[in-house]
Structure 1
Amino acid sequence: MSDITGAQLVARTLKDLEVDVVFGIVGIPVIEVAQACINSGVRFIGFRNEQSAAYAAAAYGYLSKRPGVCLVVGGPGVIHAMAGTHHAEANAWPLMLMAGSSESYQQGMGAFQELDQVGLLKPHVKFAARAPSLHQLPGTLEKAYRTAFSGRPGPTYVDLPADHIQGKVEQHESPRVAPRAKHSQSVAPEREVAHALALLRSAQRPLLVIGKGAQYARAEDPLRRLLEMMPIPFLPTPMGKGLISDKHPMCISAARSTALREADVVLIVGARLNWILHYGQSPKWNKDVKLIRLDINAESIDDNKSAEVALVGDASAIIDQLCYALGSEHGVTDPFAKMSDSQASWYKKLLSTCHDNSQKLIEKAMVFPRPAKGNVGQVALPLTYHQSFNIIRKNIPADHVFIGEGANTMDIARSMFDVVLPRSRLDAGTQATMGVGMGYCIAAAIYEQKRPERRPIVAVVGDSAFGFSGFEIETAVRNKLGMLIVVMNNGGVYKGLPVKAYNDIPVEKLPPTALLPELRYDQLCISLGGLGHCVRTIDELEKAVQDGIDKQNEGRVTLINVLMDSGSKKKLEFGWLASTKPKSKL
């Protein structure tokens, strides 16, 4: 029987584990691994920067519920990829990072790109190792892969020294690994399930908070059944949006502040009480609120505010338990069971608040400045976020995949774009990471190619955020991954300067938020093989969005450069980041 190289052994093991795509950047010595993957039928997506490759692999792990795989060179390649590794850890997404390294016998000699990568990554990942020998490499890869999605998902790392990659072993001496195991679903004790239901029934102002952990767990069907059996107003976190449609009658996203401030019992499913949810602290939350916390991770289930009931395990399985308990207690459960008087009153109040806040958004989107001189019916320049987003959302299909990145861009888009399907919205996540946009787009496009009905990819990003990963347009074009990218170009980080004001300021006096105004990102996209539009008006934006959606069917990348209001006269503020620090008493 013929020999097999270490590179071929890696590719064969990935194939055995049912890995279908690897994201990364090649170089010495991992180029042989990438080529072996291609030869074995595993797709390799070559990026221009390891950060974007790792972000893409992490996002693919979230979307597919199986570890995304990233392959990079050693030394600086690993350092760059650590951004995506940390992103995966913070968001609890499964990722397996593999990196080349210098020959094992040259360790400590100052070898090419030498770095103790296992030691560097070990504190930041669930598992990090170098196989003791080439024969043991399949087992090391298998352990890293399975560890990434077991329990709380997260990143793992496998070191691939050059002598392992280029070494040879007889095929019959290299063990095969079994296909990936199914995800185990841990459930909660029946006693705790009963306690949770009793607490929800007793609530006068109940609330359900849905996080991205529920998205990863595929908890949409159980949650829909729960809402039919026990109508509870629900609030999705930014990446919890769409698990249950934003158009569901119990969705009260537009009354977020009121709901958190007044709810007396809250069931939190797959969300942490971190900065996104104001740590569960007063005055943003009712100081006497009772929490039912459902999370895969027992270690963090009491973080920042203790749970009255802790349901540790798989979100989908435990919500199924709640539904079963409701059904077994009530026989044939009426899905439209009436709320108590106090619950009905609370729900009506939230609906009223939603209506009022939604009207304010509509006014921001529809009340235009005075018509431009000589152009009756045209909107005066410059465009605003709300006006632009209103046009974009009217011209994209309801079943799109939305990627949001940036500060103002992502914050305002969260309330402007409804999400109606699960796992259809990606944003900067727990760490508010800038630079994820293009990696997300590529991961989503690859994932959608495997679905029976491919959904269009729509990214709305700030110009500053786009600068982190914009060159990955070439990656998307090269791989024929259709997508629409809308760059909200205000010429700055948070806010920029109008052209005249920018030109009037000496370079050394420019504010730290300033970028070059009115940069032609559309021309960058064209130069990289895509399509580009530069727009200043509502009509131009509408036509460009329609064209970009149509061109996705041809596998084309379209970038719309929206030259908008610089925001130079506006105060920097973000409602979601408001301080929860209590006032000091002197």
Structure 2
Amino acid sequence: DAVERALNVLKGAKRPLILLGKGAAYAQADKEIRDLIEKSGIPYLPMSMAKGLLPDNHPQSASAARSFVLAEADAVMLVGARLNWLLAHGKGKTWGKDPKKFIQIDIQANEVDSNVQIDAPLIGDIGSVVGELLKGIASVPKPAADWINAINEKKDKNMAKMAETLAKEASPMNFHGALRAIRDVIKKNPDVNLVNEGANTLDYCRAIVDMYKPRKRFDSGTWGIMGIGMGYAIGAAVTSGLPTVAVEGDSAFGFSGMELETICRYNLPITTVVFNNNGVYRGTDINPTGGADVAPTVFVKDARYDKMIEAFGGVGYYVTTPAELEAALTKAIAEGKPALINAVIDETAGTESGRLTNLNPSTAAGKH
């Protein structure tokens, strides 16, 4: 029996982990998933759009020890998550040296064994499958104290390091300072929909801004591309009727920024925050040809994105510090009008995203 096989994998595990994917959020089996995690005592790791199924500050969350738990776990239960490129296909150094056993709960049978062998596949609706697992979860021993303690030690260390970084008052404002302000506003407004896209803006926001309720975070996910943000924000605001905040890198915003007109036309409660650092990754690149034109990655300096929304009748804000950003975002959410916050970021603060640097010809040439 498939359920019994899955329970046996958990019984034999010394370092179990539950990994929640966006499928778990889509399933809307929130109570069942929370019961499974809390009754089993197993630490869990949410992918970005599963954040909020349980609050990100839940004691069993291993988000702050992501690399550690992926490498060290000996049994992993995938709940609506798939071993695609976001999870290194379940292989390589991300997953450590020792072999792992996988349990996969998925609605599509053809997703099983697509990259690595799944020891205990469970095919079906997540709510129904988790409901069956709950019937036998009491027979699974709680995770060993040394596993939980090791995770907590790593979490505490990483969170302390991040807190120190977030506390710095950099001038000009950097990504961390800006996201600290947004984090604090979202914590006070947990019903707000958060849309997020960009390069550094996406990478940092995933890690810094906590979510407290399910299906409140929307980003590019597995196969989304630059430009999804404004459309997602419109969809979230229309379907929920709730305030929506779109945190956009300036490059990402450029792909669909004219949706500001749509937002203003329908008077939607959307606040767009553009992280303006004058370019793709950064605004300091030099034209490699030596010509008079700016580098292809550099934008018009000090662009006034806030004036764009004012042209359509919305409210624009121009901010240069975390305090100004927090005040503007708090006001914009409360007023519920179409708004855009032009958040000026240090143009030197960005780095190349997605670990692609090693693929660049200039980098490769330097290795020979």
Length-normalised TM-score, structure 2: 0.91
Could you tell me which residue of structure 2 aligns to residue 164 of structure 1? Answer: none
Larger radius of gyration: 1
- Paired AA for residue 300 in structure 1: E
> Which of these residues, 306, 317, 331, is aligned with residue 547 of structure 1?
331
Which residue of 2 is the match for residue 325 of structure 1?
Answer: 136
For 1:479-494, what aligned pairs fall within 5 Å after superposition? 479-494=266-281
Partner of 1:313: 124
Matched, 1:557 2:338: yes
3-state SS of the aligned residue for 2:94?
A: coil
| CA distance 1:444–1:523, shift in 2 (3 Å) | same
Which residue matches 1:528? Answer: 312
1:289 aligns with 2:79: no
- Spell out the pairing of 1:375-394 with structure 2 (5 A cutoff): 381-394=171-184
Instruction: Please name the residue that 2:26 is paired with.
Output: 216
Aligned to 2:211: 419
CA distance in 2, matches of 1:318, 1:538: 45
CA distance in 2 between counterparts of 1:298 and 1:338 reads 29
In structure 2, what is the equivalent of residue 446 of structure 1? 238
Where does structure 2 lack aligned partners over 5 or more consecutive residues?
360-368
State the alpha-carbon separation in 1 of the partners of residues 66 and 358 from structure 2: 13
Q: Tell me if 1:351 matches 2:152.
A: yes
1:430 equivalent in alignment to 2:217? no
Partners of 1:359 and 1:326 lie apart in 2 by 34
Q: Does 1:475 align with 2:265?
A: no
AA partner of residue 558 (structure 1)? A
- Is 1:244 the equivalent of 2:54? yes
1:205 alignment partner in structure 2: 15
Q: How many correspondences in the alignment?
A: 354
> What is the alpha-carbon distance in structure 2 between the residues aligned to residue 558 and residue 535 of structure 1?
13
Deviations 1:78-110 (A, max 9, x none): xxxxxxxxxxxxxxxxxxxxxxxxxxxxxxxxx
Cα pair 1:276 1:577 within 8 Å, conserved = no
Higher-RCO chain (CA-CA 8 Å, sequence separation at least 6): 2
Contact 2:11 2:141 in 1 (8 A): no
Structure 2 distance, partners of 1:270, 1:410, is 22
Instruction: State the 1:228 CA deviation.
Output: 2.6
CA distance in 2, matches of 1:360, 1:518: 32
Judge conservation of contact 1:231–1:339 (CA < 8 Å) in 2.
yes
- Residue 229 (structure 1) shift: 2.0
Q: Distance in 2 between matches of 1:223 and 1:492?
A: 41
TM-score, normalising length from structure 1?
A: 0.58
Letter in 1 for 2:104: R
How many angstroms apart in 1 are the aligned matches of 2:74 and 2:207? 25
Uncovered stretches (5+) of structure 1, i.e. residues with no partner:
1-190, 331-336, 370-380, 580-586
- Measured after TM superposition, the shift of residue 216 of structure 1 is 0.8
Aligned mates of 1:225, 1:576 — CA distance in 2: 39
CA distance in 2, matches of 1:296, 1:415: 28
Task: Compute the displacement of 1:318 (Å).
Answer: 0.3
Q: Name the CA distance, whole Å, in 1 between partners of 2:153 and 2:21.
A: 24
String of CA shifts for 1:497-547, please: whole Å, max 9, x gaps: 29xx89xx8543x32321112111000011012100111123322221121
**1:572 pairs with one of 352, 358, 362:** 352
Q: Deviations over 1:307-359 (max 9, x none)?
A: 001111111110011002336xx6xxxxxx9735xx22111111111111111
> Structure 1: which amino acid aligns with 2:321?
T
Q: Once the 2 structures are TM-superposed, how far is the Cα of residue 496 of structure 1 from its aligned partner?
A: 1.4
- Judging changes above 3 Å, is the alpha-carbon distance between structure 1 residues 271 and 578 closer, same or farther for their aligned structure 2 residues? farther
Moved over 4 A (4+): 575-579
Alignment counterpart, residue 88 of structure 2, candidates 267, 275, 278: 278
Contact 1:212-1:271 at 8 Å conserved across structures: yes
The share of aligned pairs that are identical, in percent, is 39
Contact 2:200 2:353 in 1 (8 A): no
Shift of 1:220: 1.4
Q: CA RMSD in A?
A: 2.1
CA distance in 2, matches of 1:433, 1:315: 27
**Aligned AA (2:27):** A
The answer to whether the 8 Å contact 2:52/2:216 transfers is yes
Amino acid at match of 2:303: L
Instruction: Give SS of 2:50's match.
Output: coil
What is aligned with 1:228?
38
Distance 1:351 1:258 in 2: 11
User: 1:573: how far off?
Assistant: 4.5
Aligned-partner Cα distance in 2 for 1:280–1:489: 36
Q: Is the CA contact 1:361–1:386 (under 8 Å) kept in the aligned structure 2?
A: no
2:67 aligned residue (257, 261, 277): 257
Alignment correspondent of 2:364: none
CA drift of 1:298 comes to: 0.8
Question: Is the 1:242–1:424 contact (alpha carbons within 8 Å) kept by the matching residues of 2?
Answer: yes
Does the residue aligned with 2:93 lie in a helix, a strand or coil? coil
What is the CA–CA distance in structure 1 between the aligned matches of 2:53 and 2:306, rounded to whole Å?
Answer: 33
Contact 2:65 2:158 in 1 (8 A): yes
Alpha-carbon distance in 1 for matches of 2:90, 2:224 = 19
CA apart distance, 1:392: 1.8
The whole-number CA distance in structure 2 between the counterparts of 1:313 and 1:248 is 27
